Each structure stands twice: as structure tokens, then as C-alpha cells.
Amino acid sequence: MRGFTKSLPFPILLALLLLTSPGVGQEIPSPAQVLGYEMGERFTPVAGLVHYFNRLAGASELVSVHPYGETHEGRPLIQVLVASPAHRARLEEILDRNRELTNPETSEARAREIIASNPAVLYLSYGVHGSESSSPEAALWTAWDLARGAGDVAWVLDSAVVVIDPVLNPDGRDRYVNFYRQAVGVEPNPDRSTLEHSEPWPGGRPNHYLFDLNRDWAWNTQLETRLRLATWSRWSPQVHVDFHEMGYNSSYFFFPPAKPINPIFPEHILSWADRIGRGNAEAFDERGWMYYTAEGFDLFYPGYGDSWPSLVGGIGMTYEQAGGGGAGLVVERSDGSMLTLNDRATRQWVAGKATLRTAAAGRTDLLTGFAAFHRTIDDGIPDILLVPGDDPERVHALVEHLKGQEIQVERATQSFRVQARPHPGFASRQSFPEGTFLIRARQTRGRLAGALLMPEHELDAESSYDISAWSLPYAYGVEAHSVTASPGTFFQPVGELPLPAPSAGPDRVYGYLLTPGFDRMPALVRFLKDEGRAYALPDTFRMNGTLYPAGTFFLSRERNPDLDRKVRDAGLEPLVVPVSTALTQTGRDLGTGSSGSVTLPKVGLFGGEGLSSGSYGAHWFFLEQKLGLPFNRLPLSFINPGNLADYDVLVVPEGMGRPSDQQAEALREWVRAGGTLVAVGSSAQSLGRALGEVEMRSEPQEDLDREERLSRALRTREERRSDRWERSIPGTILKVKLDSGHPLAAGAGADGLDAEMFVLTRGRSFEPKVEFESVVFFPEGPERASGVISETSLERLAQSTWMSEVGLGRGSLILFAEDPLFRMFWYSGFQLYSNAILLGPAF
């Protein structure tokens, strides 16, 4: 078609254009006409997707393209709105009224009035995992069908406006598409053992920083998530579909979800997931296509693209087509059948359109349920109190997180008494100080707030799921309580949190003190980058009546030319305490020779093949975006004698197997000469064993007699599964002890507790030994705060080490049994990790 119009002489073309009045008989170009190939014949790169939607918007008055930002690699993020001219004419009014339905105080009568004339808002999200590549192809054809009024969906736009996000993860998508184009031959080869079916590290699934965006909705750590969520309340959709792919030997999955289902979801969400599933089933039955429901994909963890939208009232659903990064343009499945990209995209297209039909046909029910969801938002959800203690920056960081999720937070203008239940692990209290934060359940995002802040969520099945606990007060180390009575009226909404006022200094400033705490670390790093020198004091001390914790930094005038300017430029001014003398009241004086001298370390972070991409990405993101520390990213092949001497700190993310003898020797020599080697998770296991004779805590060996042995061996498959579940620790929150006098523990304790904090554990720990120090450890009888764990597993973890420091020559090995940066939401791990890198070389 494009070629045809090009070849027409200009006057004829003009006449044709004049003949076609907008809307009626207007030529709406198909993806094939614009891109030059039919559905699934090729992979469409992000630029091609955007090009088509712009052309479609140019040709159809039903379609508009709304850019909402750019990825780290500079690719556009867009939403495509498809709406009838009548809806488009009053779009802002429709969206305003739609938002009014999300207000719990909107009366039933007013909701009925709105529902009588408002369309539903239906949101389709494609391609969150870049290598699950069929759904963005389906997005093109779905939009075209809506725009041209294809018979099966022509009437949908009478009852709904549709938002299409064709690719949530553009960087990951193009990583996959570019790989495939490079790998495929003249003809695609269905043989799954060939290179075109084997994505190279790190694969197209994650984003630029190698985060899984389908775990990030509740944590808001990644740019794509933040930009998308910033648009969410504008649309406030009633339905959200997150299109995925699973292994190519499978079929198609749509909702209802598998168990466990978080009981926080009200009936409206579940009954509609079922209703939409039945509509999809009908479309698939008609075509004889294989599919399944209620198996494999649960609705528990709040960071998914199904659960998060459901917590804010939309029917959030995951759809999974067989395919994935190994499927290419065509793949032969293990049963000998062929699966093409066209097959995959067609099913996504059909499922998407069936969903739109079911939702549009049930518009009144859907909107009525949506309004009721919000009117009853606080059913079973308590108000939550967050109490600032000695380290108020922790609660401030948590409040900022909640504000990023558009959860309203209030603050008490006076001290007060109220009946409340402490989160397990914290002590109960009746009286709360002025400045205590309140999160009311009765607000638009109240159910989301409950999901993130309540201590515990009931699990309804012994089945696989993501993590069993995530409660944010534990993640941030903040004292929290559930209110069991009305909290009172002396609260004010929190806007901008005030920065601490700079401390009034003495006339003559001798130097500055900076207490440890993660929110100060980026400013400290800026100071170090400006050739600043800080001295970490090894013990607690008292000055001017204040007790300072071990690990407090002293910024000395003698060792820092231009000290005041450096402090100002680094943004440290509001954070430091000016002092007039080195003499303390108790403890060592500030000029002590026992302090650790902290300068900007030269840091190497290992990445690439041979390491976990997700863990590496998290460390990269943390150092670059959170701490602002300069570092080099290095391949594992860099580990050679002679290469390492320039570095002060080397970091090994998860995934390194047993080092070769040569690697172990190179690392050992470098550590002995003064290097700090930081390793996490499985790499801590392999390097700890190779360099420091550190072993993991293992399952106790049971002494079984013959009868017991036989009965164990003859367990049924079901009994074995149940036993495995009994032993697993699927992301559980436990309280751990800190060696509070250890510099690496400085600033890491939870607020309101004494030398304790919480970890999200999956059950890994080290066997303690007298040869190394346990900076963080599970005490005797470890305390479960939240999530699933059996008594057997608790006993197994008792008196084992979570973070250790192993001295080796002049250097040290700092080992984390688990990655402290897991998904970047466990704030309590940030301080320990920063300490390892900044203080590791200092002591």
C-alpha cells in the first residue's frame, strides 16, 4: 500500500485524500503495511513499534501516543490510548470521574451516577520481560483491530477506553531482538540446540541494570517502574493484563491464578479474574488451543504486574504464552510439534481481545465493583504507626518509599496514647511520641499500604511462590504498630520531609562529626571524592552530653585542607555536628590512632559471564545510582596475579563457582597484601571456602535406624514434596544480632532495638568459627518476625553467621551469606554493604 500511494501522481493522491473524510472509510494502515511483514514473520524492534503507533495515531482519530519517559539507554516509553471520538471529546472529564471512583468517600449514589455514563479503563501491558518477545507483536495488531473497528472488537470502544503499553522494557526487548537478528541464519532453524535458541548472558529478560521489572512494582527502584507508576493514577484502570511467556513446551496460561492467593484481595478481584478467564477460555476452546488456569502463577507477592494493580483496584492478571528467549522465530518442541512466533503472537492477540470483550461487556459490574473496592478499602486493614527513634532517617526513607507509591502519610503533632499491637520483634507501647507517622487504611491506596506495611500475610497453600514476607518496617528497620482503635485527630499530612537543620557550631570549628547511617553515605562519598579524609572512630564515646555510636566519622581540619568548603560542597552541612575540641567526655579522643582512616577506595565489581546477572545488576545499580561511588566493572578473567594490585576493594556478586587454583591464589595474595574482598551469596560460599576455610551451615545429619531409613525412602511423591516444603525457607524475615562494637556493623541496627536488625533470609548462613568474626548472626532460638519457616529450619539457623569478616594477612574477606542488595528494597542491608566497601579497607 505504501508503494502504491508513492507511485501516484500528486494531483490524484490529493483527490484521494480529499475524498476520504476522517473516520469514515479512512484507510487505517495495518502493521504489515507500515512495517512490511505479517504478524510474527520478524521481530519488531522498539523503534519499529513506536514508528507503527505513531503512524496509526496519524491515521486514526481513535489513537493517540503518550510518551512517558525514556529508559536508561534512551529508548522511549509510550502509552497508546485507543478511545472512541465521543470518549475522546470528554477524556479529561472521564478520567476525573474515574479517579473519583477511587476515593473511599465517594458515595454509592455518586458512583452510580458516574458509572451510568463513564467507560471502563482497560490497560494492556506487553513485553515486561524483553526476551518474552511475542506480546509486543500482538500489541501492534490489537491496536490496529481496535482502530479499524474489526468485527470482534468494534463495539468494545463504546464501553471502554483502552491503554496499550506496547513494551514495558524497551532496553531488554532490543537486547533480545538484536541478539536474535545476529544469531539467525538465512532460514530460522527450529533445532533448539542451535545458537539462535541460546541467548547469551545476561539475556533480554531484565532492564538496563538487569532488574526484573516484574518484581519491582511495589519497590519502585527502577526508572521504568517509576515512570509508569507516575502515570497510574491518571488512568486508574479497572483491568490490567501483563503479557508474558513461559517455556516453549508449555501451552497458554491465563487467570484465575494459582494458590497462594493473598487474602488481602477482595472478592471483586478474584471473581472478575475468573470471569475474564472464562471469556478467554471460550475464545481458546473455539480454536482448539491448549491452555490452563489456576496453576503455576500465584497472586501473593505484591511486586508483580498482576498483584500490584489488583491492590489498587484493577483486575491485574498475568498471561503466559509458551515461548521465551529460546523460541526464536520457530522452535521444535520436545513433542515434535513446531511453535512459530506467529503462533505465539496470535494467541496473545486473541487473549487480549477476548479480555477486552469480557470487560467491556461487563462494564457496569466492573465499575460498580471498582467503586465498592475503594469504598470498603479498609476492610480488614489496620492503620499503621511508624515510630521514629534514634535514627529517624530510617523512618524518613520508608516514608519516602510510601510517597513514591502515592500512599498518604500523616504525622502526629503531639505525643499521644492509643491501643496498638507492635509488629512482632518490637516491644509494645501505649504512648507514642510527637512525630510518629500514621498511615490510614482508609485512603485510595489503603489496600496497597496494608500489603506493604502489615507484618504478615496469611498463606493459603503449601505451594511455590516468590517470597513469603516483605513487610517494609522490617526492611527499613523501623518500629511499627498496628492500631486497634481510632488513632485520633492530631495528625497532619506529610509533605516534604524537613532536612535536619544544621547544628549550631561553636565559634571556632575544630572539626566535624558524622554519625553512621545509610542516608549520609552518598554525601560522605562526595566528600571522599573531593579528596576528603574521614576517620571512623572504633568505639562509642560521649561529647557535649551526646553518646556517639562506634563507627562515627571524624572529619579533621588538620588532614583536610579546605575542610569547610568540602563539607559544604558534599552536602554534608546539615548532617554533621561541628565540635570545638578533640577531647571527649568518655571514650577515646577524636584524634586517636585507633580510628580507621577512610579515603576513596579503588573498587572493582565483577560482572559478566559466570555470575548472576540479577545480583551483578543490583550491585552495579547500587554503587552507581545509590552510593555514587566510582568503580570499575571487571570480567572474572581479570583475576590474575599482578592485575589486582591497584584495587582496594573487589566485589563478587552471586554466582561464582569454585575458583580455579590460579584465581584462588591471585585473590589470596591480593587480600594478604591488604585487599578487601567482598563476596555475597553463592560466591561467598565458594570464595569463603577456597580462601578462608569458611563453610556453610548444613542440614544436620540424622542418625536413622533401618526402619526409619526405609520409611523415609518409601515416602510418596506428595510426602516428599511436603517434606521439602517443610525444610525450605522461601524468603522469611528473622531477627538477627549485630556485633555492635564491630566497625562493619556501624549504623546497621534497627531503630528502636538494641544491636539487632532484620534480614530477609532464604536459609543460607555460615558455620561460626573462632578464626573469624561474626558481624551479623542468628542467635540461639532465632525469632521469626514474618513469613513461613518451620521449627526445623529455625533450629538449623540457630547460632550461625549471616555476615562474617575473615582476617587474612593485612587484608580481609567480608562475606554475606545472602545478597544484602536483593531486589534493592531491603534498606537494612544497604548500610552493612556500604560499610564493607568504605570501612573494610580502613580497619
**Closest by CA position to 308, among listed 235, 236, 218, 377:** 218
Q: Where does this chain touch Zn ion (CB under 5 A) — which range of 24-32, 111-119, 237-245, 706-714?
A: 237-245
Close Cβ partners of 375 (under 8 Å, ≥ 6 residues apart):
104, 106, 108, 111
| Sole window of 127-135, 357-365, 643-651, 790-798 interacting with Zn ion (rule: CB under 5 A) | 127-135
Q: Specify the residue, 321 or 831, whose C-beta has the smaller distance to Zn ion.
A: 321
Strand boundaries in 254-343, DSSP class E: 315-323, 330-332, 338-340
Min separation Cβ 297 and Zn ion, Å: 10
Q: Which lies closer to Zn ion via its Cβ, residue 253 or residue 476?
A: 253
Span from 155-163, 244-252, 276-284, 450-458 in contact with Zn ion (CB under 5 A): 244-252
Binding-site string for Zn ion from residue 70 to residue 109, where x marks contact by CB under 5 A and - marks none: ----------------------------------------
User: Which run of H or E residues covers position 830?
Assistant: helix 828-838
Q: How many CB atoms lie within 10 A of CB 518?
A: 25
Of the pair 325, 752, the CB lying nearest Zn ion is at 325
Of 131-139, 174-182, 447-455, 814-822: span binding Zn ion (CB under 5 A): 131-139
Q: Give the helix ranges, DSSP H, for 37-107.
A: 46-59, 85-89, 91-100
Distance in Å, CB of 296 to Zn ion, minimum:
12
Q: What is the C-alpha to C-alpha distance for residues 763 and 124, in angstroms, rounded to an integer?
A: 37
Give the other-Cβ count within 10 Å of 61's Cβ. Answer: 14
Mind spelling out the 3-state secondary structure of 501-544?
CCCCCCCCCCEEEECCCHHHHHHHHHHHHCCCCEEECCCCEEEC
CA separation for the pair 383, 226 (Å, rounded): 26
For helices 661-672 and 681-692, the axis angle rounded to 10 degrees is 80
Of the pair 132, 819, the CB lying nearest Zn ion is at 132
Q: Which stretch binds Zn ion (CB under 5 A): 57-65, 239-247, 681-689, 775-783?
A: 239-247
| 205 vs 375 by CB, closer to Zn ion | 205
C-alpha distance from residue 643 to each of 40, 407, 637, 672 (Å): 48, 49, 10, 15
Shortest distance, CB of residue 771 to Zn ion, whole angstroms? 44
The residue (of 129 and 764) whose beta carbon lies closer to Zn ion is: 129
Question: Which residue's CB is nearer to Zn ion, number 211 or number 553?
Answer: 211
Integer distance in angstroms from the first to the last C-alpha of the chain? 72
* CA angle at 775 for the pair 772 and 779, rounded to the nearest 5°: 100
Q: How far is the CB of 421 from Zn ion (least distance, A)?
A: 38
Q: What is the Cα Rg of the chain in Å?
A: 29
Task: With contacts defined by CB under 5 A, name the span among 124-132, 358-366, 611-619, 726-734 that binds Zn ion.
Answer: 124-132
Return d(Cα 661, Cα 640) in angstroms, integer: 11
Residue 431 C-beta-side C-alpha neighbours within 13 Å: 3
Which helix (H) or strand (E) segment is 555 a member of? Answer: strand 553-556
Angle between the 46-59 and 134-148 helix axes, to the nearest 10 degrees?
Answer: 0
User: 320 or 343: whose CB is closer to Zn ion?
Assistant: 320
Shortest reach from residue 219's CB to Zn ion, in Å: 17
CB neighbours of 474 closer than 8 A, spacing ≥ 6? 423, 425, 455, 733, 750, 758, 760, 785, 786, 828
- Interacting stretch for Zn ion, rule CB under 5 A, among 128-136, 227-235, 300-308, 727-735? 128-136
Residue among 347 and 396 whose Cβ is closer to Zn ion = 347
Backbone angles phi, psi at 563, to 5 degrees: -55, -45
**Which CB atom, from 169 or from 774, has the smaller least distance to Zn ion?**
169
Report the residue number, 138 or 371, with the smaller CB distance to Zn ion: 138
Binding mask 507-546 for Zn ion (x = CB under 5 A): ----------------------------------------
How near is the Cβ of 323 to Zn ion at its closest, in Å? 10
Residue among 132 and 773 whose Cβ is closer to Zn ion: 132
Q: Please state the closest distance from residue 337 (CB atom) to Zn ion, in A.
A: 22
Q: Give the shortest CB-53-to-Zn ion separation in angstroms.
A: 22
Q: How far is the CB of 95 from Zn ion (least distance, A)?
A: 29
Beta bridge partners of 165: 125
Residue nearer to Zn ion on the CB measure, 249 or 540: 249
Supply the minimum distance, in Å, between the C-beta of residue 324 and Zn ion. Answer: 8
Closer to Zn ion by Cβ: residue 205 or 626: 205
Give 87 or 244: the residue with its C-beta nearer to Zn ion.
Answer: 244
* Residue in the shown chain whose Cβ atom is closest to Zn ion: 244
Number of DSSP helices (H) and strands (E) in the chain, helices first: 28, 34
Q: Say how far apart CA 393 and CA 115 lie, in whole Å.
A: 44
Integer Cα distance of 615 and 819 in angstroms: 7
Number of residues that bind Zn ion (CB under 5 A): 3
Closest separation in Å from C-beta 173 to Zn ion:
12
Distance CA(98)–CA(110), nearest Å, equals 12
Candidates 125-133, 219-227, 265-273, 604-612; binding stretch for Zn ion (CB under 5 A): 125-133
CB of 213 to Zn ion, least distance (A): 9
| In the complex, least distance from residue 783 CB atom to Zn ion, rounded to whole angstroms | 35
Cα 401 → chain centroid: 12
CB of 40 to Zn ion, least distance (A): 18
Q: Is 244 in the site for Zn ion (CB under 5 A)?
A: yes
CB of 353 to Zn ion, least distance (A): 21
The span of 228-236, 241-249, 429-437, 485-493 binding Zn ion (CB under 5 A) equals: 241-249
Q: Which residue number, 323 or 388, has a Cβ lying nearer to Zn ion?
A: 323
Q: What share of the chain is helix, strand, coil (3-state, %, to 5)?
A: 35, 20, 45
Kindly give, in sequence order, each residue whose CB lies less than 8 Å from that of residue 172, ignoring residues fewer than 6 positions away: 127, 129, 130, 131, 204, 205, 206, 207, 213
Q: At closest approach, how far in Å is the CB of 125 from Zn ion?
A: 11
- The CA distance from 434 to 415, in Å, is 4
The Cα–Cα gap between 391 and 395 comes to: 8
Q: Contact region for Zn ion (CB under 5 A) — 123-131, 157-165, 515-523, 734-742?
A: 123-131
Which of 55, 87, 129, 823 lies at the binding interface for Zn ion (CB under 5 A)?
Answer: 129
Nearer to Zn ion (CB atom), residue 168 or residue 449: 168
Under the binding rule (CB under 5 A), the answer on residue 481 touching Zn ion is no
- Which CB, 205 or 764, lies closer to Zn ion? 205
Helix (H), strand (E) at residue 796: helix 791-797
- Could you give the angle at the alpha carbon of 10 between the alpha carbons of 5 and 11, nearest 5°? 120
Rounded Cα distance, 812 and 173, in Å: 41
Is the dihedral angle over the CA atoms 180, 181, 185, 188 positive or is it negative?
positive
CA distances from 811 to 641, 672, 807 (A): 16, 5, 6
Of the listed pieces 218-226, 242-250, 518-526, 745-753, which binds Zn ion according to CB under 5 A?
242-250
- Vertex 298, ends 296 and 304: CA angle to 5°? 120
* Stretch of residues binding Zn ion (CB under 5 A), selected from 20-28, 129-137, 303-311, 481-489: 129-137
Least CB distance to Zn ion at residue 132 (A)? 5
173 binds Zn ion per the rule CB under 5 A? no
- Per CB under 5 A, which region of 132-140, 559-567, 604-612, 670-678 contacts Zn ion? 132-140
Cβ 155 to Zn ion shortest distance, Å: 31
Residues of this chain that interact with Zn ion (CB under 5 A) are 129, 132, 244
